[in-house]
Structure 1
Amino acid sequence: MIVVAIIGILAALAIPAFINYVKKSKTAEATSNIGMMFTGAAAYYDSNHADRGAGVATTTTKCTVGPADLGLAPTDNKQLVNWTGLAAADKAAFEAIGFQLAEPVYYNYLIASTTAAGGACGGSANNGSVYTFRANGDLDKDGAESTFEQAVATDNQNQLRRSGAIYRQNELE
């Protein structure tokens, strides 16, 4: 009887720890994908973009994309992104930074772009905030969402720089 009681106590301690471990492993998706969004945005910012037309093509750099939202409802199940059903502007923004998820995801991803810089070229040094990359999810479907955010700005050499860490709110909600 004592053995059964000991096993019950150990199970009572181990099960919540295991559930939190599983949730923590799922949050790695959000931080990894936000990192991919920054890498793609930095490459897009530094690449040349040319206008096509009858005249001389002008080449511009330091371009940003506008705001975008994958439109996934927070849930405890992985979801495939419906790229064909996405609004054209949202799809174009994610494609421009090379963020095209083929595998199902737990989180909805958003690009919040400043109104001054969103979708324009010719960004300047020390322009302040350019983007906020965000992931929202509800891993246990209790209505409380977790949020992961990374702020991005230009530095004095006109390069995109991200904040030192990803902001996390209700990480394991």
Structure 2
Amino acid sequence: MPHCLKQSLCMMGLLSILMLSPNAFSQQEPGTASDDDVTTESFQDWEVRCQRNGEGPSPCAMAQLITQPDSDQPLMQVILDYPPEADDPVMSFFVPLGVRLAPGMQMSVDDGEPIQFPYQVCQEQGCRADAPIESSMLQELRSGTTATLSMIGPQGDRMDLDISLAGFTDASNRIAP
């Protein structure tokens, strides 16, 4: 991995990642949510957060923070949730600046056929890409062990990041509408 990208990956903190997060991870303005407003559950490598809502079902999302093995510095965050306007879940990926945008990203499960999707937005904190997850891909994720996210670095080199699917089935069942 190029040094400038590795440095950028290491400098990205969880707070900056969460600032870009959709739906349940950003239901309230920063600083207004108390611990009483959010419930958190762990399902192996996935965390489910639900926003307490007195007016109806609590919106929930599941997330995994991918860190550098030797330093625990954040590399990427993956969030799966069910947006109110969509029938299928959406998986959002938050990566640092310094990736080539035009090729987009690819995700495959256990070396299966990859799906390709574009980046949505880049801000100071990093870039976000959303992938609608159709039922067939959801089944692959639930029965798989590892998903691999591929992106292109600034020098044109392919970078692969593995996403553990341990606990994915239970977490995705927990957030399903």
> TM over 0.5, yes or no?
no
Length-normalised TM-score, structure 2: 0.30
Q: Name the structure with the higher strand share.
A: 2
Q: Name the structure with the higher helix share.
A: 1
Length-normalised TM-score, structure 1: 0.30
